[in-house]
Amino acid sequence: MRRKLAAGNWKMNGLSGALAEATRLADAHPAPRIDILICPPATLLSRLAGALKGSAIAVGGQDCHPADAGAHTGDISAAMLADAGAGHVILGHSERRADHGETDEDVRSRVRAAIAVGLRVIVCTGESGAERDAGETLAVVGAQLAGSVPDGMTAKTLVIAYEPVWAIGTGQVPTPDQIAGVHGFIRSRMIRRFGEETGQGIRILYGGSVTPDNAARIFAVADVDGALVGGASLKASSFSSIVRALEASV
Binding status of residue 209 toward ligand PEP by CB under 6 A: yes
Please say which residue, 61 or 208, places its beta carbon nearer to ligand PEP.
208
**End-to-end CA separation in angstroms for the chain:** 10
Smallest gap from residue 5 Cβ to ligand PEP (A): 13
CA 113 to chain centre: 17
Q: What is the biggest distance separating any 2 CA atoms in the chain, rounded to whole angstroms?
A: 48
Q: Which of 21, 95, 102, 163 is catalytic?
A: 163
Give the range of 183-191, 213-221, 226-234, 236-244 binding ligand PEP by CB under 6 A: 226-234
Binding status of residue 230 toward ligand PEP by CB under 6 A: yes
Q: Which of 81, 207, 221, 236 binds ligand PEP (CB under 6 A)?
A: 207
CA angle 13, 17, 21 (to 5 degrees): 80
Smallest gap from residue 54 Cβ to ligand PEP (A): 27
* 4 to 43: interface string for ligand PEP, x by CB under 6 A: -----x----------------------------------
Residue 95: CB partners within 8 Å, gap ≥ 6?
Answer: 11, 168
111 neighbors 147 (Cβ within 8 angstroms): no
**Scanning residues 168 to 197, which ones bind ligand PEP (CB under 6 A)?**
168-169
Binding status of residue 163 toward ligand PEP by CB under 6 A: yes
Catalytic-residue membership of 163: yes
Binding status of residue 210 toward ligand PEP by CB under 6 A: yes
Q: Which of 29, 65, 93, 183 is catalytic?
A: 93
Closest CA to 39 of 57, 16, 62, 17: 62
Instruction: Name the phi and psi angles at 228, rounded to 5.
Output: -105, 120
Range 39-61 burial, b when 16+ CB lie within 10 A, else e: bbbbebbbbbbebbeebebbbbb
Smallest gap from residue 170 Cβ to ligand PEP (A): 7
Residues marked active site are found at: 93, 163
> Which residues in this chain contact ligand PEP in the complex, by CB under 6 A?
9, 163, 168-169, 207-210, 228-232
